[in-house]
Amino acid sequence: MWLSKKVLLLILVGALAGCGFRPLYGTSGTTGSGGPVVDEFSAIKIERVANRTGQQLHNHLLDLLTPRGQPATPAYLLRVTLRESKREIAVRSTGLATRANIRVNAKFALVDMATGDLLTNGTARAFSSYNLTDSEFSNLTAEKDTLSQATRIIAADIRARLGAYFTGKDPA
């Protein structure tokens, strides 16, 4: 029984090796700078985003795209605009809400710095909810945490979409 599991595992590993799988953010070897997508990420200048939620998103994007710092001579400019909304739901008979939904939409555009041409754009969304209590402090804390989590989700989505864009333009 254990021999058949090992044989099946070897067959699966062999099939993956022959399917043309390439890691999106790295190289298939153990050395290198991180691959062509990571090199493209390091050439992106991220424009500041308005308000506190935008600042959090900007910081998450910096961590995901350019962890070594913004480039001295960027090849690309990433512009992001945010729109957030809060809606209280699950209203008690007393008229007080017990739950709130947060929705954050981010429109992003990647622009070629040399030509000013739009290379790719899109919309990333995050939706989350939290419980409302009688404590205003708890409600504010829950809202801040929810918005922070939403910006993490949006930053990861933008990174994945940019990675797909750079992989698609890669002729290899």
pLDDT at residue number 28: 46
- The owner of tokens 């829950």 is 142
**Burial status of residue 148 (CB atoms within 10 A of its CB: 0-12, 13-18, 19 or more):** middle
Which of the listed CATH numbers 3.30.160.150, 3.40.50.2300, 3.40.50.2000, 3.90.1150.10 matches domain 34-169?
A: 3.30.160.150
Under 8 Å between Cβ of 89 and 100: yes
pLDDT at residue number 80: 96
pLDDT tens for each residue of the chain, 172 residues long? 656 666 666 676 666 655 555 555 554 444 445 567 888 999 999 999 989 999 999 999 999 998 888 888 999 999 999 999 888 876 765 667 788 889 999 999 999 999 999 999 999 999 988 888 888 898 899 989 999 999 999 999 999 999 999 888 644 4
Domain boundaries, the chain: 34-169
pLDDT at residue number 59: 94
Report pTM: 0.75
pLDDT at residue number 132: 86
SS3 category, 96: coil
Under 8 Å between Cβ of 154 and 57: yes
pLDDT at residue number 23: 53
SS3 category, 83: strand
SS3 category, 7: helix
Of the candidates 105, 122, 113, the residue with the CA atom closest to the CA atom of residue 45: 113
